[in-house]
Amino acid sequence: MSSKTADSQWSSVNQFLSENAARFEEQLKALIRIPSVSAQPAHNADTRKAAEFVCNDLNGSGISAKLVETAGHPIVLGRSPRLEGQPTVLVYGHYDVQPAEKSDGWDTEPFEPVEKGGNLYARGATDDKGQFFTHLKAAEAWMKAGGGLPVNVIYVIEGEEEVGGANLEKFFADYASELACDYAVISDTSQWAPGVPAVTYGLRGLCYLEIVVHGPKTDLHSGMFGGAVANPLNALCRIISSLHDASGRVAVEGFYDAVTPLADWERAEFAKLPFVESEFASRLGVSALSGEAGYTTLERKSARPTCDVHGLWGGYSGPGPKTVLPAQAGAKLSFRLVPNQSNKEIANLFRQHVAKVCPVGVTYEIIEHHGAPGVVVQTDTAGMAAARRAVALAFESEPVLVREGGSIPVVGLIKDQLKVDTLLLGWGQNDDNLHGPNEKFSLSDFHKGIRAGARFMAELAE
């Protein structure tokens, strides 16, 4: 293909994107309205509906797609028409979302998208419906206006990212030969700031656990029995409290043993990024930032391992007082990990720790939810260069190279099973409040993301 032909095709693709922008937004809203909460069995039918929506959208663009059934939620698998001699990209996304109830603090119904100030507010707007959908629209533009995709693209859009489903691993194993590719691309991260696009080269891993502490076999009256038996709520707090020392470091023995220290160049890059701690604290509404001593806030939240509790339950939390000494109490918690920590090993260290600190008179059980190792990908590849050029063109600014604090377990899985690096091209913003109330996504970034996704294919084509 001559450069002139390529320019003319790109021009057509670009025009198609502009002319169809409003329709793309309506399609995204329709997808968001499906409450595909993978964690909640009551939403299983909705979750499937979202998968079918994605599958139909791909097929409508001429990308051959189907649902692959799993033991849990189905996976959408699509493939562009084969182009010999061109590289292959695997686009991964997830159509499932975190739980959301208006009563969690939402200003509007979480599954009814609302436009305000150039943003779309809804659960899944940025994580990940709004982001992965950009690649579907980029594909549509090439198929309908550019004479087909300039490279081979495989689409894997799954429905268990938010519950760490084990089914994707089996899928990758079963379909390994069909999924052979040169790069994976995922849009499920953030830009550095408005106007400062980013390509992410590192992610933290995750070890998500739940602990349930059992005391007396039935709830007791604290007046009659308080002082006689260990209280599971008090015991749980003692266990949780023991997970950090006074300097904010995780106090689980061996926790830091495998940690790859931050390289000097990385700390220098972190220091150069535009970031004002006081403004950040003010935006979050906290009186002070806090965490592991010896690291900057950016380092702590992006590239250092941590431990956070996600939920506590037990006893009475209704209105008014109740003097119950409850039979059990529980907590959900996770460790964020960095290379080279193993989530399986960290779960073992946690078990050993609890065995040491659990007060007498209670028993406990530990449930392991999903996990993922931390990852850092190569920054000097042709794919990375193509991605940076595409982002620079679409967002009209050179992207910064960053590490992010979140976990995308599939990046590790792709590395393990398909032996390729993932290009993390995030279109979100740090205040998108994913997983919280009033999640949002910039509509302008939505369209830039589509354009960047489309351009990336052209940049990668040989």
Tell me which of 127, 158, 160, 161 is the catalytic residue.
161
Amino acid (1-letter code) at residue 320? G
* Spatial separation of the C-alpha atoms in residues 383 and 190, rounded to whole Å: 19
Residue 378 buriedness (CB in 10 A; 0-12 / 13-18 / 19+): exposed
The nearer residue to a copy of itself, 315 or 453, going by C-beta atoms, is 315
**Nearest in space to 185 (alpha carbons), one of 400, 404, 372, 377:** 377
Query: If DSSP codes are grouped into helix, strand and coil, which group holds residue 276?
Result: coil
Q: How far is the CB of 30 from a copy of itself (least distance, A)?
A: 25
d(CA 20, CA 165): 35
Please state the closest distance from residue 112 (CB atom) to a copy of itself, in A. 19
Catalytic residue, chosen from 46, 57, 96, 432, is 96
Instruction: Give the pair of three-digit tokens for residue 386.
Output: 């193509």
Least separation in angstroms between residue 220's CB and a copy of itself is 6
H or E element at residue 92: strand 88-94
Closer residue to a copy of itself (CB): 332 or 351: 332
- Distance in angstroms (rounded) separating the CA atoms of residues 458 and 452: 10
DSSP code for 196? B
Select 43 or 388, whichever has its Cβ closest to a copy of itself. 43
Q: Does residue 104 have an active-site annotation?
A: no
- 161 is a catalytic site residue: yes
Which strands form 363-372's sheet, in the order they lie side by side? Answer: 328-337, 205-214, 363-372
Residues 6+ apart with CB under 8 A from 192: 198, 273, 274, 400, 402, 430
CB of 63 to a copy of itself, least distance (A): 30
The 3-state DSSP class for residue 363 equals strand
- Alpha-carbon distance 363 to 217, whole Å? 11
Q: Name the residue nearer to a copy of itself (CB basis): 10 or 364.
A: 364
Residue 250 phi/psi, 5-degree rounding, is -70, 125
Minimum CB distance to a copy of itself, residue 34 (Å): 18
* E strand or H helix that includes residue 279: helix 277-284
CA-nearest of 179, 198, 173, 178 to 188 is 198
Nearest alpha-carbon partner for 169 in 97, 64, 70, 48: 70
Distance, in Å, from the CA atom of 424 to the CA atom of 199, rounded to the nearest integer, reads 6
CB 332 to a copy of itself: min, Å:
6
Of 263 and 316, the one with the shorter C-beta distance to a copy of itself is 316
Comparing CB distances to a copy of itself, the nearer of 117 and 321 is 321
Judging by DSSP bridges, how do beta strands 422-425 and 183-186 pair with one another?
Answer: parallel
Question: Which of residues 193 and 312 has its CB atom nearest to a copy of itself in the complex?
Answer: 312
For the CB of residue 213, give the shortest distance to a copy of itself in the complex, in Å: 11
Rounded Cα distance between 180 and 159, Å, is: 21
- The distance of closest approach from Cβ of residue 101 to a copy of itself in the complex, given in angstroms and rounded to an integer, is 10
Tell me the two tokens of residue 34.
């499906």
Q: Is the dihedral of CA 398, 403, 408, 411 positive or negative?
A: positive
Name the residue nearer to a copy of itself (CB basis): 151 or 408: 408
Catalytically annotated residues = 96, 161
